[in-house]
Amino acid sequence: MITERVVNKPPATRADWEYWRSSTVPIVGMIYDPASGTIRWRNLTGLARSRVMPDDTYIPQPQSDELTEVMVSEVLDDQTFDTFVNQLEAYLAATADSAYLLLLDPDDTVRRRGVFNCWTLGRHDPRPLILLRRLLPSLEERSLVDGICVLAHATSHPDIFWTKQNWISPLVEEAIRRSFRWLPDELAELVNTVETMDEGGTDWQRGGLGQSLWSIMVVDPELCSKLPAAIRSCVEAGWSQAAIRLVVCYQYLTDNPVADVDAVMAAHPALAENEMAGWVVEELHERGRFPVY
């Protein structure tokens, strides 16, 4: 089938889908159009293993072995050959047996490759990004920054420049977002790590890492009720900066910000004595509520 964009759709059977999915090496389908002399290709193994059928629209359909046609639209020529090789190398790296074990490596550079592996496949299959979310509190340094930023793509982050190269379909996004349910200790650890990072872009402002962390935190429908326990964890650990940041988050979400924050301060006298905490309380009493960033 040839459309205006010269897209070919060869036939596929249920046996084909199973063969492509189970292959230990990626199977690439290619079509040669003698009329135009054009070669087009598709990573069939990657497609068969995906949970969605990615295409050039923002409404991809669930992957099904009942589908009898495969869209093959990527052009292979002298100009795109390097891109073709790079894409297959990235897919091979992300699907190796040890690909996700890199997230547990003591070397931060190696962990960052693990995060990239999750991103490579996670846009079309939620499982790698769900794994990244589960391991997120164990990351640190640049791999943590990368992990938070990657996961923020499964949220309605207002300051990501969305394109077809970074957009996650609703089918996959919904599954990833269901994993954004946080324990109070996880919230305390993540906020403390971000608060104590001494590098640009980590502060809580538009475009900062704090904004991305907030984007994945606030997906949890029970976040507000978990914040007092997270604040307590920070106070007990001596993480006053993180505790204050969580107080800011709490006042933004709770129905009675002034009364509820006053109750938190009464429960934690040491925190109430902190100069920055005093400023937060003063600002809250004056304004009633204020933004997280």
How does the average pLDDT of the chain come out, rounded? Answer: 89
What DSSP line would sit under 74-142, residue for residue?
EEESTTTHHHHHHHHHHHHHHHSTTTGGGGG-SSHHHHHHHHHHHHHHHTT-HHHHHHHHHHGGG--HH
At 85-117, the pLDDT tens digits run: 988 988 888 888 788 899 999 999 999 999 999
3-class SS of residue 58: coil
Pick from 190, 273, 266: nearest CA to 234: 190
Average pLDDT over residues 201-215: 85
Average pLDDT over residues 130-149: 95
At 70-83, the pLDDT tens digits run: 888 889 999 999 99
Distance, CA of 224 to chain centre: 21
Q: Which residue has the higher pLDDT, 170 or 57?
A: 170
Taking 80 as the threshold, does the pLDDT of residue 200 lie above it?
no
Is residue 65 a contact partner of residue 29, using CB atoms and an 8 Å limit?
A: no
Q: Would you state the structure tokens that stand for residue 259, as one six-digit string?
A: 């009364």
Residue extents of the structural domains in the chain: 1-95
Pick from 184, 157, 154: nearest CA to 170: 154
CA distance 134 to 5: 41
* Cα end-to-end span (Å), the chain: 51
Average pLDDT over residues 233-258: 96
The backbone region for 37, taken as left when phi is positive above 0, alpha when psi lies in -120 to 50, beta otherwise, is left
Taking 90 as the threshold, does the pLDDT of residue 255 lie above it?
yes
The helix (run of H) or strand (run of E) holding residue 29 is: strand 28-33
Q: What is the pTM of this model?
A: 0.82
Pick from 51, 35, 37, 41: nearest CA to 7: 41
**Cβ burial 265-286 (10 Å sphere, 16+ → b, else e):** beebeebeebeebeebbeebee
